[in-house]
Amino acid sequence: MTAKPGAIRSCPEITRGGSTSLAESSALQRLNFGYEDAERDIAGGLLRESFIRTVAYEATVSGRKMLIIGRKGSGKSAICMQIAARGTRGTQPRGTQPEGPEGTILITPDDAVGNELRRFELQGLTGDTARSLVWRYICAVHAARHLVTHATRAPGRLRNHRTIRVLRRFLKANGELSNQDLGGRLAGMVRGLQTTSLSLEAFGIRTGVEMSLAPSEGAQAIRQLEVVEQGVADAFAELDWADRQQPLLLLVDQLEQVWSAEPDAHSMIIGLLLAAKHITARYRGAMHCLVFLRSDIYDSLSFPDGDKFRGDELRLGWSDDSLMELALTRARASVGTSLTSDQLWTELFPALIAGEPTTEFLLRRVLPRPRDVIQYLNLSRDTAVQNGHDRIREADVVAAARQFSEWKLRDLSQEYLVAYPYLERLFPLFQNTGYIVMRNVLASRLEQTATTLHNQFPAYAHSITLPGVVDTLYSVGFIGVRRGNDVVYAGGPDLAVQPYESEFHVHPCFREALGATSAVDIHAYTPLVLGAIEARVAGGYVLNSTFRSPGAGREHRLLQDLSRSCRTILDRIGRAVDIPGQTRQEITTQVSRIVRDARKASDALDEGREINVGDHVIAAATYLGALAAQIRASGLHGMAGADSVSAGIADEARRLTAAAGGSSGGSGASS
C-alpha cells in the first residue's frame, strides 16, 4: 500500500541533497503502534486517535449485526471499547430536543458471574433456555438502571414519570440500585428467578400468591421475567425512546474469561445468544445486545436454533491493505498526521528486506489480524532502538522475526488451550525439518507419538488422528494447504482440508521458532575438498602456475562428467511438475552449487593448484546419493516426477562414484 509522498509538517525534518525527509532519530523515538489489547489501548494508547471506522464497526453500531465473531486479536474488543467510549454514530442523540447522552453498557463477566450462570438450572426447562432467562433478566435490570439514571439527570417531568417511578421502586426493592458489581448482585437475581422471592409489587404483582400458580419452577421464572421485561418495555415506549434516542446498547465482551470446554459453559454462551436475539424483538429497537465472541468458541457451539443466527453474524477479517492502513494510521497518531506511507516504509523502515518490499515481508510473517501487526512492528522498532540505530534497519526487522515467531508459537497454544489442550504437543512434529510436509510423512510422524498423546489426553483420543490433527492445525492457522498454485490458510471462505489434499505448509509466522526455514529437509551442499584448497590459497600456498599434473586431462573429464550429471538432474527437476515449486527450487539450488563448484575446481586446475579431483567428485556423488534419499524421505515418494528425480539423482551418483574409482566399482576413466 502506497501513498503520495509529502513532507511531515508536524515532524522535525532535515534536508538531504535538496529533498525533505524525516529526522529519523527523533521520529523513531516517537514511533509507536499502540498496545496489543484494546482495554489498555483505549485508556492510554492510540485506539481513540487511530481507530478506523470499518464496515464491521458501522454494521455493529447500526444494529444490523449483533454477533461479532473473530479470532483472538482480530479487533473485537477494539470495536467494543470504541463503542463503549464514544457511543453510537457520534456523540449526539437523535431528535431536535435531546434529553441525554446516548447509552452504552459494557458487561464483562468475571469468574463469579460465570460460576453462577453455569450452575443455574430450572425444573422443566433445558439448560440453554434456563440460562437465557438469567441473561434476559440481567439485561432488563441494566436497562432499568440506565433509564432511572438517565431520568435523574433529565428535567423534572421525566424524573417523575410514572414508568420511571415504577422501575426505581422495583430496583430498590430487589437491591439493584446498589453500586455492588454484577457478580455480587447475580446471586440474588438467580435466587429470585428460582423462587418467588423476586419482588414485583412495583408492577402491581403480589409475587407469592400469583406466581405460586405456575405449574413448574421454569414456568414460574418465565412469568416473573415477563413482568419485569414488560415494565422496562413500557418505560421505553412511554418515553418514545426509539424515536428520541439511539438504541441502548448492551455490549457483552471477554466471554473467553468464563468459558471452558464443559457442556454447562457451552449452554451459558448459547443462553446469551438466545437472550440477545429475544431482546431486539422484545424492546422493538429501543435496546440491542451486542455479543463479541471468539470464533473458536462460537464454532464449537451446537444448538437447534443455530441456523437462525446466520443473518446476525459478522465475522471479522482483515486484508493486507486494511492492515497496512491500520499500521499507517497508528504511526501517524504517534509521529505526526502528515506521515505518508512512503515515508513510513522507506525512511523509518527499510524499503526492502531480503530482496522483497518490507510490507510484503512483514505481512507474510503475521497472522492476518491487528494484534500481530502491532506486536511485530513495535518489536522491530524496539530492536532498532536497543541497537542504537537512528532508523529501523533490515537487520532489526530480521532479528525481530525470530523473537516474534517464538511469541506466536507460544501464544497459539495458549489461545486454543481450552479447545485443544494437546496442540502444543503437535509442534515437535514440524520441528527442525522442512516447512512443506506431505500427508504421508505427517502420518508417519504422528504414528510414532500417537500412543503417548492418547495416554496424556484420553478425552481427545478421537481427535488425535491424522484427519483430526490436520483439521485442527489448519483451523488454528498453523498449516495451510496447497490448492493449485496457491497455499490457502484458514480464515477466509475456503473449504476445510479435503481428504485428497496432501501438501501442507507451516505458516511463515511459526517457521523461525520451529527451525523450519527451508521448503524441504535437504542439507546444503558443502564442497569440502575445494574448501580446503581455498583455505590453503588464503594461507599463501599456491603452486607454480606452469606445473601441470600428469592426470590433468582425466581430472578435467571427471569434472565435466560431474557438471553433465548435474545438468541432467536439473533437466529432470524442471520436468517434475508434481513436485512442490518451493521444493524444486530448494533441490535446484543445491545441485546448481555443485555445478558452480565443479567450474571453480576446473579453474583451479588450470591455475596449477593442487587438487584431488577424484575426492572432490566422490564427495559430490555422495551428497547426491544422500539428496536422493532425502527426497524419498520427504514424503514425495509416490509422485511420478519425484520418483523420477530421486531415481535419476541416485543413478548419476552411482555413475560418478564408479567413474572416480569409488566404492561403487570401476577403476575410473582412463587417461
Dihedral-angle region of residue 515 (phi above 0 means left; psi in -120 to 50 means alpha; beta otherwise): left
Reduced 3-state DSSP string for 148-214: HHHHHCCCHHHHCCHHHHHHHHHHHHCCCCCCCCHHHHHHHHHHHHHCCCCCCHHHCCCHHHHHHHC
Residue 152 confidence (pLDDT): 75
What is the maximum alpha-carbon separation in the chain? 120
Residue 251 confidence (pLDDT): 93
Residue 99 confidence (pLDDT): 32
**DSSP SS3 for 432:** coil
Residue 210 confidence (pLDDT): 59
**Would you place residue 88 in the very low, low, confident or very high pLDDT band (cuts 50, 70, 90)?**
very low
Query: What does the mean pLDDT of the chain come to?
Result: 83
Q: How far apart are CA 171 and CA 165, in angstroms?
A: 10
Average pLDDT over residues 555-569: 91
Q: How far apart are CA 132 and CA 278, in angstroms?
A: 9
CA-based nearest residue to 45, from 74, 15, 82, 1: 82
**DSSP SS3 for 497:** coil
CA-based nearest residue to 140, from 221, 69, 62, 257: 221
Check whether 371 has a pLDDT greater than 60. yes
Dump pLDDT digits (tens) for 282-338.
Answer: 998 889 999 999 999 999 898 888 888 889 999 998 999 999 999 999 999 898 878
Residue 183 confidence (pLDDT): 74
Dump pLDDT digits (tens) for 113-152.
Answer: 888 888 888 888 999 999 999 999 999 999 999 998 887 7
Q: Mean pLDDT highest for which of 467-481, 534-548, 633-647?
A: 467-481
Q: Mean pLDDT highest for which of 150-154, 233-237, 394-398?
A: 394-398
Question: Is the CA virtual torsion 471, 472, 474, 476 positive or negative?
Answer: positive
**Would you place residue 603 in the very low, low, confident or very high pLDDT band (cuts 50, 70, 90)?**
confident
Spell out the residues 6+ positions from residue 448 whose beta carbon is closer than 8 angstroms to its own: none
Write the CA distances from 642 to 222, 524, 564, 579, 631, integer angstroms: 68, 19, 20, 6, 7
Residue 227 confidence (pLDDT): 92
Instruction: For Cα atoms 285, 289, 290, give the angle at the middle one, nearest 5 degrees.
Output: 120
Reduced 3-state DSSP string for 505-516: EECHHHHHHHCC
- What does the block give as the cell for 606? 588450470
Residue 19 confidence (pLDDT): 40
CATH 1.10.8 applies to domain 13-34+319-414:
yes
CA-based nearest residue to 143, from 288, 41, 346: 288
Residue 374 confidence (pLDDT): 94
- What does the block give as the cell for 100? 441525554
Reduced 3-state DSSP string for 331-348: HHHHHCCCCCHHHHHHHH
**DSSP SS3 for 632:** helix
Spell out the residues 6+ positions from residue 544 whose beta carbon is closer than 8 angstroms to its own: 608
Residue 412 confidence (pLDDT): 95
Q: How many CB atoms are located within 10 Å of the residue 54 CB?
A: 17
Check whether 667 has a pLDDT greater than 60. no
H/E element, 145: helix 127-152
Q: Return the residue matching grid coordinates 515515508.
A: 343
Check whether 394 has a pLDDT greater than 50. yes
CA quadruple 435, 441, 443, 448: dihedral, nearest 10: -100
Write the CA distances from 277 to 233, 287, 311, 586, 654, integer angstroms: 15, 11, 11, 54, 72
Dump pLDDT digits (tens) for 178-206.
Answer: 877 777 778 788 887 887 778 888 888 87
Backbone angles phi, psi at 207, to 5 degrees: -55, -55
Residue 664 confidence (pLDDT): 44
Q: What percent of the chain has pLDDT over 70?
A: 84
Packing angle of the helix pair 127-152, 111-119 (nearest 10 deg): 130
**Would you place residue 22 in the very low, low, confident or very high pLDDT band (cuts 50, 70, 90)?**
low
Pick the range with the lowest mean pLDDT from 80-89, 344-353, 420-429. 80-89
Residue type, 196: T
Spell out the residues 6+ positions from residue 146 whose beta carbon is closer than 8 angstroms to its own: 103, 105, 248
Residue 100 confidence (pLDDT): 33
CB 472 within 8 A of CB 423: yes
Q: How far apart are CA 284 and CA 288, in angstroms?
A: 9
Question: Which residue spans of the chain are classified as CATH 1.10.8?
Answer: 13-34+319-414
Residue 118 confidence (pLDDT): 86
Q: What is the length of the chain?
A: 671
DSSP for 302-335 reads --GGGGGGGGGEEE----HHHHHHHHHHHHHHHH
Q: How far apart are CA 626 and CA 244, in angstroms?
A: 78
Check whether 344 has a pLDDT greater than 90. yes
**Would you place residue 213 in the very low, low, confident or very high pLDDT band (cuts 50, 70, 90)?**
low
**Would you place residue 212 in the very low, low, confident or very high pLDDT band (cuts 50, 70, 90)?**
low
- Side-chain-facing half-sphere of 394: CA atoms under 13 Å: 9
Dump pLDDT digits (tens) for 35-69.
Answer: 887 777 777 667 777 788 888 888 888 888 999 99
In this prediction the pTM is 0.79
Q: What percent of the chain has pLDDT over 90?
A: 43
